[in-house]
Structure 1
Amino acid sequence: MNTSSFSSYKKEFSTLSKLAWPILITQLAQMGLGVADVMMSGQVSAQHVTAVALGSSFWLPILLIIMGISIGSTALIGNLFGAKQTHKIATLFTQSLYLPILLIPLSFIALSFFKPVLLYFQTPIDDLNIANDYLNAFKYGIPALIIIQFMRAYCDGLGQTRVIMYMSLFMALINIPLNYVFIFGLFGLPELGGVGCGVASSIATNITLLAFIVYLKKDNVPFTFEKPDFQSLFQIIKIGTPIGFSLLIEVSSFSFIAIFIAKLGNEIVASQQIALNIISVTFMIPLSLSMALTIRISHHLGAKDFAQAKRTIWMSLLISLILGLSLMSMYFISAPFLIGLYSKEAAIITLGTSILFIGGAFQVIDCLQVTTTGALRAYQDTNWPMAIAFVAFWVIALPLGYYLTYFSDFNIGVRGFWVGLTCGLTLAWIGLLWRLKLAFNKEA
């Protein structure tokens, strides 16, 4: 590699890093809000923790789809930014703000099924009532939360990833004190327990939205009101909806695993959930790189610098491989210690460690596939990745994992699901590479 090529890669790596690290802090801050809700409501009772978890798990699939749609907006804005068509960016942003008008009522309709669904699954009535009250309090923040997603998409598309980082940290700084106030009834207010988490989230989200609007107004972002352009709106939905369902497919797979192994006993369930939590936290690093890659490649494609787009993608895949191998090595070296941070029971540490060993191989492939997916989003290729995710997780990984866990002669127990996930994800990555090759050929 000559000096000029090395300098080019170094510059590209620096740009990607500047985009990725604020996204990483944003993702960790958002995860931290969920952890804070669980920890604080847990100080009231296990029942309140259960109620908050039930309410959050029902809202999460809806949020994932909305996030996916907003990511479609990020790719389009990034493309326009790279093409230096700044006059079109403001119009597209304005158009994207019409989507919450559709998504907010649809979210409320979806949430109305919460109580009937839990009644169908014979959830204890006390748990159900607290969870329903939590969601009823939380839903007053949903309109603000949806609008924030599209404001984030605008800033991310321009490469201004620090904005949502600041907003996420600001929300956390508001939300945690508000949790204390409403959960425990400070300053003469009623003690709401887990329901207080919903009240705190609603208030914090609305305050954050106001802060976001003030920031964008100071940055001279035009909040103009134009007639809806249904072609632009359809384009955002067309690109973004498959992204949302891809996220939903992956997350729901782990929810199904939790259901499938529930009958195996508390120690096995605890080991699985602890290992999954550790892997989920470390996954925020490659996920942040993937989101940064979508932004960076969309800029290159907008500028019609297809050769640089390819170089950046290959460089990112190499970084992802190194990152995945590093995380796998960390699991191999530190697995007992990491599991021990959650539980001191010997059986859980032993089983959790063995799950993390297999999870290390899974993490290597997951790093590679999420990076490839991030590149494809910049090419606005989202339908095929959704179909590939469906086959990988629901057609291959879950059935294979179920077979290995319950029926195979290998006697590997719950580890079978992680073998199934690794196999499914490997095939998914091969399929995604095929789509990436087709995208390269189109630009050749």
Structure 2
Amino acid sequence: MRVMMEGFYLEARALLALALPSALSTYCYFAVSITELSVMGHLGVDELASVAYAQLCLDLSTLVFMQGFNGGMNSLCSQAFGAKNYHLVGEYTLLTSLLVTIACVPMALLWWNLDSLLLTAGVAEHVAFLAGQYGRLSLLWLWPRSMFQVLASFYQAQNIVLPTAAFDVLMVAFNGFFAIGFTYGRFWLPELGFIGCPLGTAVAVTLRLVSYVAYMNVYRRYHLQCSWRWDTHFLDKQIIWNLVSVGVPLAAGELLENSQLTVLTLFAANIGELQLGTHNSMMELFFFATSPLYAVIGGSVTRIGNHLGAGQPSQAGLAARICGVCIVTLTTTNSVVIVSSRRHLGQIFSDDPVVISAFSQVCSLAALAYFILSFFCYALAVLQAQARPMPLAVGMVAGAWLVGIPSAYLLGVHTTHPSLLGIWEGMICGYTVTSVVSFFPAFVQPNWQEEADKAVKRSHLKEKELASPQESDRLLA
């Protein structure tokens, strides 16, 4: 019993060592977004609206194109690191860097033509023009941010996350300094007005990448253990298949979920501006409060993947159970806080009694949503760590689009008395189906021994070839 408790304690400590810095990184992401909205909001209403539209489109495309491959890379690199096939970790990283760079091309086309897309959607011409400017200038930080995320996943697979969080905090400071400075002419910087904010963000993102590489690779030399070689080994068809087979379903799931949320936002806008404002404010609060959950999921993917790659199914199962305990603790805490303070949370966003009342009603449903999402979050951590993303994509299709969207429309929009509450009820119906479909294979059928065998086989791919010394390796010493 004592040995079991000690093992539980050590694994929990290892998970928290990953999750806490990752949570800080997530909060920093929100801080950067809020900084940009705040800086632009002081320029005028149109400027604020344009940045809000631009961020919605930019974030959606970034999640779809980038997060899937980064998530797949985290799973596979964690397993390869656990198997001690260190060069394979580098090969997956190099391949992900190439795929993400290629993905920047369609994203650049989308961002460059953002104003045309918004005009087609019915956005006011002046707002669409400003959003187009913002999107085109944001291309300057697209690749540097993408590469930073790839490198962050590379080091997370090796259980190195604290420096990443520190550089994310620096990013918040850099962004505040340059965005405010270039927009308003502060801190001895030229006043550029509207274009100053995206330019400032581009400078901050580039500085973060350069300083991160300088610290991690040049100064601390953390990359040497799992370094890649500048050859074509990473283009091996099996390596490509492993990454694509995990990354594409994860990307599809991101696309399905985020496009569903966009449709729900349009439903709220169809009811009225008050409902739209309440819905968007509630979603921002919901995502902010959910940040620690995603940090736990990311840390759990790394820990479970390490154990599976090392051929330790019992340790992987223990890490999954600790993940479940953390998720239940966080979702319960969030639910209690939201319900107990539901009459006051609305006052953060508005003084209108109608908005506060609507916010209070939605908060009660948000607490229920957290309970349901706890099952999905557990499934996401386990299935991603096992490199089994297909049930997640299937669950998102069934829940978000076959149930969630139709239910939200029938309960919230196509009814005698349209209401935001009905939209949220429909959304919860959809996430219930998604959670059930995903949770069953993750919890009821988790053959840990079989998954460990698969991970070991997958992680020892080309081990002898990759581990064979090469003349160029001495240059890395």
TM-score bucket (shorter structure): over 0.9
Compute the displacement of 1:381 (Å).
0.8
Compute the displacement of 1:163 (Å).
2.8
Task: Specify the alignment match of 1:104 in structure 2.
Answer: 104
Alignment of 1:415-434 (within 5 A): 415-434=421-440
Question: 2:307 matched to 1:300?
Answer: yes
Residue 309 of structure 1 aligns to a residue in which SS? helix
**Deviation per residue, 1:114-145 (Å, 9 max, x gap):** 23312222322211221111111110111111
Compute the displacement of 1:328 (Å).
1.2
Structure 2: distance between partners of 1:116 and 1:262: 21
Structure 2: distance between partners of 1:122 and 1:349: 29
Structure 1: distance between partners of 2:438 and 2:273: 37
Contact 1:249 1:389 in 2 (8 A): yes
Task: Specify the alignment match of 1:148 in structure 2.
Answer: 148
Could you state the TM-score of these two structures normalised by the residue count of structure 2?
A: 0.88
1:226 corresponds, among 211, 231, 248, to: 231
**Deviation per residue, 1:286-324 (Å, 9 max, x gap):** 111111111110011011111221222123223322322
Question: 2:192 matched to 1:191?
Answer: yes
Structure 2 vs 1, CA of residues 358 and 22 (structure 1 numbering), >3 Å: closer, same or farther? same
Task: Specify the alignment match of 2:458 in structure 1.
Answer: none
Structure 2 letter corresponding to 1:181: G
Structure 2 letter corresponding to 1:395: L
Compute the displacement of 1:188 (Å).
6.5
Compute the displacement of 1:223 (Å).
6.0
| Paired residues, number | 441
Alignment of 1:241-390 (within 5 A): 241-390=248-397
Structure 2: distance between partners of 1:201 and 1:237: 31
Contact 1:33 1:172 in 2 (8 A): yes
Contact 2:41 2:47 in 1 (8 A): yes
Choose 380-389 or 36-45, whichever is displaced more: 380-389
Structure 2: distance between partners of 1:353 and 1:265: 18
Structure 2: distance between partners of 1:22 and 1:178: 25
Contact 1:99 1:233 in 2 (8 A): no
Structure 2: distance between partners of 1:208 and 1:315: 33
Structure 2: distance between partners of 1:423 and 1:188: 51
Structure 2: distance between partners of 1:87 and 1:121: 47
Task: Specify the alignment match of 2:466 in structure 1.
Answer: none
Residue 349 of structure 2 aligns to a residue in which SS? coil
Choose 389-398 or 216-225, whichever is displaced more: 216-225
Q: Percent identity?
A: 15
Compute the displacement of 1:173 (Å).
1.1
Structure 2: distance between partners of 1:302 and 1:188: 50
Residue 387 of structure 2 aligns to a residue in which SS? coil
Task: Specify the alignment match of 2:70 in structure 1.
Answer: 70
Structure 2: distance between partners of 1:128 and 1:415: 30
Structure 2: distance between partners of 1:273 and 1:105: 30
Contact 1:75 1:378 in 2 (8 A): yes
Contact 1:94 1:226 in 2 (8 A): no
Structure 2 vs 1, CA of residues 117 and 233 (structure 1 numbering), >3 Å: closer, same or farther? same
Choose 352-361 or 118-127, whichever is displaced more: 118-127
Contact 1:246 1:389 in 2 (8 A): yes
Residue 97 of structure 1 aligns to a residue in which SS? helix
Structure 1: distance between partners of 2:197 and 2:252: 27
Q: CA RMSD in A?
A: 2.0
Structure 2 letter corresponding to 1:151: L
Choose 234-243 or 20-29, whichever is displaced more: 234-243
Alignment of 1:205-224 (within 5 A): 205-214=205-214, 215-220=216-221, 221=223, 222=227, 224=229
Structure 2: distance between partners of 1:49 and 1:176: 17
Structure 2: distance between partners of 1:311 and 1:424: 30
Task: Specify the alignment match of 1:22 in structure 2.
Answer: 21
Structure 2: distance between partners of 1:106 and 1:345: 42
Task: Specify the alignment match of 2:40 in structure 1.
Answer: 41
Choose 380-389 or 105-114, whichever is displaced more: 105-114
Task: Specify the alignment match of 1:119 in structure 2.
Answer: 119
Structure 2 letter corresponding to 1:256: V
Structure 2: distance between partners of 1:310 and 1:119: 51
Contact 2:412 2:426 in 1 (8 A): no
Compute the displacement of 1:154 (Å).
0.2
Structure 1: distance between partners of 2:253 and 2:67: 11
Compute the displacement of 1:354 (Å).
0.8
Compute the displacement of 1:380 (Å).
0.5
Q: Where does the alignment leave 5 or more consecutive residues of structure 1 unmatched?
A: none
Structure 2 vs 1, CA of residues 188 and 166 (structure 1 numbering), >3 Å: closer, same or farther? closer
Compute the displacement of 1:389 (Å).
0.9
Task: Specify the alignment match of 1:7 in structure 2.
Answer: 6
Compute the displacement of 1:73 (Å).
0.9
Contact 1:69 1:240 in 2 (8 A): yes
